[in-house]
């Protein structure tokens, strides 16, 4: 199903969710574990471009992209065709039993695309959390050290080790312990909430982080410093300028693996192929997933050859890692990003969104901060101009109104007060503008 077959127009014909979605939700309650949530329980029958169409015939504007997965759209014909062709030949052999070219091709592409011109290796996996776990394994094996440094507001996954790496308790960690050890948390360079203000945030936060690592952990004990170049679930926090380069330099000087978790920020999302590139940071290891394969499950760790090859034979892998259909989809998705200029398109989307949202913030004191890069943009809500106390209640009202008007929005933030926007990079300007107008209406109605 190509995006041209899905009418690129918002259309609301029932309440949201509609009666068919409500009926299916009742079936779901009896079949699906209650711990699995949904931001907006409208059940999808098809999607493409910037539209998600539900089973009631409503067409919603998509500002979620399946949490930054469908960067090239939900139904890019190249992805569907190439994955389908692979499925017709074979669905699985397990690369660890009988390998195939698609896996090698994806590894070659990632080695080419990720930052740095050093020699690289790649391992393919199933999910972002699995990629992060493997990156930590690789760093520990290569360095002979155990400690891992992570940051406030971080999100790295839902498996046991990645829960330990993740900062937020509810809903990701609560009641699921005990967690893996040798994980050390450091304050994040959060410009909006930095005590001395955004201007000095990057420099001061880096100095504080390095001091804490040195004194409380010992640099010689640290296998890896792991960070999202822009924090996702934490609230789309763009670190203060200079923070990432200073950390990377410190790691390089002390034999520490610098791991960039680009699961949400990768594949053109931020107006660069990878978010590290905004400040010229070259990670030792980089984790990818989400936008890699146009919606099919695939993830990867790519890194310096000497680190990746330090792991003993059989130490990396997994039955489904690098599934052949997912590899085919990834190659088509990368082709779409490069041939359709989606890196540049993400930058243009970001400029359009930030301009309008910053103008909106001038009219509403409860908008404390508008931030982001490329098509990864967020609004943080507070009580007022002189009160930065998180305002989750207003966030909920805004998001609820937008959902009822047919705009898919996501929330985020350690304090539950951030609206995050991740439109597909193939969305048209008309839908983008209409979605922003709905957000403006929501704030004007508060």
Using a 10 angstrom Cβ sphere, with 0-12 exposed, 13-18 middle and 19 or more buried, the burial of residue 343 is buried
| DSSP states along 202-259 | HHHHHHHHHHHIIIII-GGGEEEEEE-SSBTTTT-B-PPTTHHHHHHHHHHHTT-EEE
Question: Could you report the average pLDDT of every consecutive run of 10 residues in the chain (446 residues)?
Answer: 74 98 97 95 97 98 98 96 98 98 98 98 98 98 98 97 96 95 97 97 98 98 98 98 98 98 98 98 98 97 98 96 98 98 98 98 98 98 96 98 98 97 98 98 96
The predicted pLDDT at position 5 comes to: 84
Q: Tell me if the bond preceding 353 is cis, omega within 30° of 0.
A: no
Distance CA 413, CA 436 (A): 20
- What is the sign of the dihedral through the CA atoms of 56, 59, 62 and 66? positive
The predicted pLDDT at position 1 comes to: 37
Would you say 199 and 232 are in contact if contact means Cβ atoms under 8 Å apart?
Answer: no
In degrees, rounded to 5, the angle at the alpha carbon of residue 228 between the alpha carbons of residues 184 and 345 is 175
């Amino acid at each position: 199903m190509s995006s041209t077959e899905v009418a690129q127009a918002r259309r609301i014909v029932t309440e949201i969710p509609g009666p068919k979605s409500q009926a299916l939700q009742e079936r779901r309650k009896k079949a699906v574990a209650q711990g699995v949530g949904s931001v907006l329980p409208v059940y999808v029958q098809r999607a493409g471009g910037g539209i998600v169409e539900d089973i009631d015939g409503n067409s919603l504007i998509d500002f979620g992209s399946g949490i930054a997965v469908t960067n090239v759209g939900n139904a890019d014909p190249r992805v569907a065709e190439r994955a389908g062709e692979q499925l017709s030949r074979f669905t699985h052999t397990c690369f660890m039993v009988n390998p195939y070219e698609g896996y090698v091709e994806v590894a070659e592409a990632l080695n080419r695309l990720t930052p740095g011109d050093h020699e690289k290796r790649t391992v393919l996996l199933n999910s972002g959390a699995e990629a992060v776990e493997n990156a930590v394994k690789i760093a520990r094996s290569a360095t002979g050290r155990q400690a891992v440094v992570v940051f406030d507001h971080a999100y790295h996954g839902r498996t046991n080790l990645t829960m330990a790496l993740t900062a937020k308790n509810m809903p990701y960690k609560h009641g699921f312990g005990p967690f893996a050890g040798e994980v050390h948390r450091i304050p994040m360079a959060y410009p909006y909430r930095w005590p001395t203000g955004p201007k000095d945030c990057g420099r001061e936060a880096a100095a504080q982080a390095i001091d804490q690592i040195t004194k409380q952990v010992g640099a010689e004990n640290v296998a890896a410093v792991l960070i999202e170049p822009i924090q996702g679930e934490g609230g789309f926090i763009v670190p203060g300028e200079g923070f990432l380069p200073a950390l990377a330099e410190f790691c390089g000087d002390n034999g520490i693996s610098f791991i960039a978790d680009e699961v949400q920020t990768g594949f053109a999302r931020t107006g660069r192929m990878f978010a590290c590139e905004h400040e010229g940071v070259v990670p030792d290891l980089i984790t990818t997933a989400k936008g890699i394969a146009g919606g099919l499950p695939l993830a990867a760790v790519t890194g310096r050859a000497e680190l990746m090859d330090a792991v003993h034979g059989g130490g990396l892998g997994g039955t489904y890692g690098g599934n052949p259909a997912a590899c085919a989809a990834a190659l088509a998705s990368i082709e779409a990003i490069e041939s359709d200029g989606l890196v540049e398109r993400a930058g243009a989307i970001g400029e359009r969104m930030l301009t309008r949202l910053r103008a909106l913030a001038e009219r509403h004191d409860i908008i404390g901060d508008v931030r982001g890069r490329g098509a990864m943009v967020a609004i943080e809500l507070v009580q007022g101009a002189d009160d930065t106390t998180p305002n989750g209640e207003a966030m909920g009202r805004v998001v609820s109104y937008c959902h009822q008007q047919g705009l898919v929005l996501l929330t985020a933030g350690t304090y539950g007060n951030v609206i995050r926007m991740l439109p597909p990079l193939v969305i048209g300007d008309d839908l983008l503008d209409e979605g922003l107008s709905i957000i403006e209406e929501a704030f004007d109605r508060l």
